[in-house]
């Protein structure tokens, strides 16, 4: 699993003209799921995401986690994170999981983040054409691949 984490002061996702979800201070997370991902990847990423010390403390040093600030999450599925651009100019998405594998894993990721965070999170809709808006705070953007833990 690959996640792109952005520290935000606000974020939202629209499907058509309807706002599906919106958050205030917290993390907007794009998640790309591949065929080999499993519950272990989800559990590891959830703990890592919630405990990343990327929010400012009273001295403006990035020393607080999402849990410390009682922040929010907006989680958006994005298969294009697994794009391969090695050959030609048209990206290949061969590593991205098919919907029959990706949808259950995306739903498990939502459930795990909500359980670990202790509250509901905002989400997009798997496979939908979404418009994501955010105010990147910092800016702070972090990429984590669950296959590269060491």
Per residue of the chain (150 residues), give pLDDT as tens: 999 999 999 999 999 999 999 999 999 999 999 999 999 999 999 999 999 999 999 999 999 999 999 999 999 999 989 888 888 899 988 889 999 999 999 999 999 999 999 999 999 999 899 999 999 999 999 999 999 886
pLDDT at 44: 97
The DSSP-derived string for 74-104 is EEEE-GGGG-B-SSSSS-B-TTBPPHHHHHH
pLDDT at 81: 92
Q: Select from 72, 71, 91, 77 the least CA-distant residue to 2.
A: 77
Q: Spot the catalytic one: 80, 85, 112, 123.
A: 80
Q: Which domains does the chain have, with CATH numbers?
A: 2-145 (3.50.80.10)
For 57-88, b/e burial (b = at least 16 CB within 10 A) is: eeeeeeebebeeeebbbbbbbbbebbeeeeee
Active site residue 112: no
pLDDT at 150: 67
């Amino acid at each position: 699993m690959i996640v792109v984490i952005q520290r935000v002061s606000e974020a939202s996702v629209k499907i058509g003209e309807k706002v599906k979800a919106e958050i205030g201070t917290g993390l907007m997370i794009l998640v790309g799921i591949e065929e080999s991902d499993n519950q272990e990847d989800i559990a590891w990423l959830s703990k890592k995401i919630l405990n990343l010390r990327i929010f400012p403390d009273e001295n403006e040093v990035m020393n607080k986690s999402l849990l410390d600030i009682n922040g929010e999450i907006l989680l958006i599925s994005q298969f294009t994170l697994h794009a391969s651009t090695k050959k030609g100019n048209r990206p290949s998405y061969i590593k991205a999981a098919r919907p029959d594998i990706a949808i259950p894993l995306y739903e498990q990721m939502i459930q795990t983040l909500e359980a670990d965070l202790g509250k509901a999170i905002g989400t997009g809709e798997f496979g939908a054409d979404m418009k994501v808006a955010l105010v990147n705070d910092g800016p702070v953007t972090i990429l984590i691949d669950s296959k590269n833990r060491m």
